[in-house]
Structure 1
Amino acid sequence: MLYPELFKQLEAVRWDMEKDIPWSSFDASKLSDEQAQTIKMNAITEWAALPATEMFLRDNKDDSDFSAFMSIWFFEEQKHSLVLMEYLKRFRPEFAPTEEELHEVRFEFEPAPPLETLMLHFCGEIRLNHWYRCASEWHTEPVIKQIYTQLSQDEARHGGAYLRYMKRAINKSGNEANVAFSKVGVLMASARRTSQALHPTNLHVNKNLFPRDTIQSRLPDPQWLDHWLDTQIKFDAEWEGKVVGRILHNMSLLMNRSFKTVQDLNRFRKEIGREIAADTALVPSSA
């Protein structure tokens, strides 16, 4: 089991919201209403760990180890929402999310293949780590800068934990896991070719609720994410290149291959697909 070891590792570096956030350093002159609004949107987005955890537990009923790890992930992600809300309540209470606004992002996700979902959230952690690092640079108010730094470090650690479960899946499932991970990896590393930010909170997850079946679509301002990335924190091509580089680096380690580009990863995906098809063709059909 991975859960006991991951619990010890993450427990050892867990930060304390009262002791490790420099609340007394707050500088009101360096926080605008515009910035406070973005903090509110991120607080609500982080609250969406609740329906994501419900999805993970439902779709991984046969995996008690991973399900137990969700207790850590859920706690720390909800803590992200909580610390952002605490910041607003202390310094800009008029921007603090309401309970109704938080509850709006709790809705049912349709069942999805667990391996693809695992890879999707692994890539999401890498992307969020970089978004928060970029946000910390954009902000000038010292307390929120530190908060985003703490959050970014948590997201990196979560990505590392997901990677451990991905390695375990390859050992158990071989090419089934390889093709699932490479397929989603190609998608999530191809953000430059899409018109939307590629993150789990921005993907459609319940066709019966379409078009309000993404986390972002259920926020008070459904358009905020693109504006935050493009106009405010300016998450540009250089930052996006860092995300793609981390995805490809980790896929190289995971698959024991060298992926310099998304095209390399896509060629690997097709190669594994052909191997699976050939193996299937060799299996005699039952009469």
Structure 2
Amino acid sequence: MLYPELFRSLESVRWNMETDINWDQFDASLLSEEQAKTIKMNAITEWSALPATEMFLRDNKHDSDFSAFMSIWFFEEQKHSLVLMEYLRRFRPDLLPTEEELHAVRFEFDPAPPLETLMLHFCGEIRLNHWYRCASDWHTEPVIKQIYKIISHDEARHGGAYLRYMKKALVEAGDGARAAFSKIGVLMASARRTQKPLHPTNLHVNKDLFPNDTVQSRLPDPDWLENWLDGQIQFDADWEKKVVDRILHNMSLLFERTFESVQDLNRYRKEVMARLGATDTPVTSAA
């Protein structure tokens, strides 16, 4: 069981919203209207940890260890939403999300294969870590720069915890886990070939609600994410390469085989599928 160890590890580095954020260093002259609005959108997006947790608990009823870990992940992810809202409450109360705006991103996700979902969120944590690091560089106001750095570190630790559960799954499920992880790894490391950012909050998750079945589609500004990445924080090819390299590095550690490119990982995926005797389906869509 990983939960007790992960609890101790994450508890030892947990930050305090009242004492570890330098609220007294706020400089209103360094916060633009454009920047403040993006903070609101990120606060609402982080609130979607609520339906994600409901999904994880529903689809992992067979795994009490992982389900217990959700108590940590849920707490820390909701804390990210809370600290961004606290920033707005103190300094831009006019932009504080309403309860209705927060509740809009709570909707049911369709059931999905648990191991594929685990890998999807592992990659999502890597991507968020880099998005928030980039956002911290873009912001000019010192308090929000600090907040984004702090929560980016949380996302990295969450990715590390998911990796521990992926290693456990390899022992328990063997090639079935390898197939699931390599499939989603190829998908999530191929963002440059898609027209939209690849992150769990930007993927379709409820066919009955389509097309309004992504978290981003239910924000006050559904087009916000693409504009934030491309036009504001400028998450460019160099940043994207960092994400892809990190995914490939972790897949190399997980599978004990070196992957220099997405093509390398895809070849490995095909090898695993062949061992399973399964029909290979090309990985082409994030929907």
Give the shorter-chain TM-score range: over 0.9
| Mapped partners of 2:148, 2:176: distance in 1 | 36
Q: Which position in structure 1 is the counterpart of 2:16?
A: 16
Q: Which position in structure 1 is the counterpart of 2:149?
A: 149
| Mapped partners of 1:275, 1:112: distance in 2 | 23
Q: Which position in structure 1 is the counterpart of 2:159?
A: 159
Structure 1 residue 256, shift from structure 2 partner: 0.3
Structure 1 residue 212, shift from structure 2 partner: 0.3
| Mapped partners of 1:216, 1:273: distance in 2 | 33
Taking structure 1 as the reference length, what is the TM-score of the superposition?
0.96
Q: Secondary structure at the match of 2:10?
A: helix
Where structure 1 has 5 or more consecutive residues not aligned to the other structure, the ranges are 279-287
Structure 1 residue 33, shift from structure 2 partner: 1.0
Report the aligned-residue RMSD. Answer: 0.5
Q: Which position in structure 1 is the counterpart of 2:205?
A: 205
| Mapped partners of 2:177, 2:64: distance in 1 | 19
| Mapped partners of 1:188, 1:62: distance in 2 | 26
Structure 1 residue 253, shift from structure 2 partner: 0.1
Q: Structure 1 segments of 4 or more deviating over 2 A? A: none
Q: Which position in structure 2 is the counterpart of 1:103?
A: 103
Q: Which position in structure 2 is the counterpart of 1:68?
A: 68
- After superposition, the C-alpha distances for 1:198-243 in whole angstroms (9 at most, x for unaligned) are 0000000000000000000000000000000001000000000000
Q: Secondary structure at the match of 1:163?
A: helix
The aligned amino acid for 2:194 is T
| Mapped partners of 1:18, 1:230: distance in 2 | 33
Q: Which position in structure 1 is the counterpart of 2:185?
A: 185
| Mapped partners of 1:67, 1:173: distance in 2 | 18
The aligned amino acid for 2:154 is D
| Mapped partners of 2:225, 2:96: distance in 1 | 18
Q: Which position in structure 1 is the counterpart of 2:170?
A: 170
Q: Which position in structure 1 is the counterpart of 2:232?
A: 232
Q: Which position in structure 2 is the counterpart of 1:283?
A: none
Q: Secondary structure at the match of 2:277?
A: helix
Q: Which position in structure 2 is the counterpart of 1:263?
A: 263
| Mapped partners of 2:156, 2:257: distance in 1 | 22
Q: Secondary structure at the match of 1:176?
A: helix
Say if 2:212 is the partner of 1:248.
Answer: no
Where structure 2 has 5 or more consecutive residues not aligned to the other structure, the ranges are 279-287
Q: Secondary structure at the match of 2:264?
A: helix
Q: Which position in structure 1 is the counterpart of 2:56?
A: 56
Structure 1 residue 132, shift from structure 2 partner: 0.1
The aligned amino acid for 2:30 is K
Q: Which position in structure 2 is the counterpart of 1:81?
A: 81
| Mapped partners of 2:80, 2:4: distance in 1 | 23
Q: Which position in structure 2 is the counterpart of 1:195?
A: 195
| Mapped partners of 1:173, 1:208: distance in 2 | 31
Q: Which position in structure 2 is the counterpart of 1:92?
A: 92
| Mapped partners of 2:162, 2:74: distance in 1 | 13
| Mapped partners of 1:110, 1:231: distance in 2 | 32
| Mapped partners of 1:141, 1:41: distance in 2 | 17
| Mapped partners of 1:272, 1:71: distance in 2 | 33
Count of residues in Structure 1 that have an aligned counterpart in Structure 2: 278
The aligned amino acid for 2:31 is L
| Mapped partners of 1:96, 1:134: distance in 2 | 23
The aligned amino acid for 1:3 is Y
- After superposition, the C-alpha distances for 1:44-98 in whole angstroms (9 at most, x for unaligned) are 0000000000000000001000000000000000000000000001000111100
| Mapped partners of 1:113, 1:43: distance in 2 | 28
| Mapped partners of 1:137, 1:34: distance in 2 | 15
